[in-house]
Amino acid sequence: MARAILDYTKTILKKVSFDAELFCKELKKAVKRLLPFEIEELRIWLLQFTANKPDLYPSIALIEA
């Protein structure tokens, strides 16, 4: 079940990545919902996903805080 939530979160973040503000909002919700080891996995995914999306770089600070 927990894996499904992480996969769902990644799907949502991909879909809203066109809008940096919405992306950050969804990322904040995800951090509240996920377990610590899932947040770490999401952080790794986020670093890869935002590698070529400079408008999403500020969102990295949300998950590293």
Round the average pLDDT of the chain to a whole number and report it. 92
Average pLDDT over residues 49-63: 92
pTM of full prediction above 0.85: yes
| Encoded tokens for 24 | 């950050």
For position 57, what pLDDT does the model report? 92
C-alpha to C-alpha distance for 40 and 19, rounded to whole angstroms: 23
CA angle 15, 27, 56 (to 5 degrees): 70
Per the CB < 8 A criterion, the answer to whether 16 and 55 are in contact is: no
Please tell me the number of Cα atoms within 13 Å of 16 on its side-chain side. 15
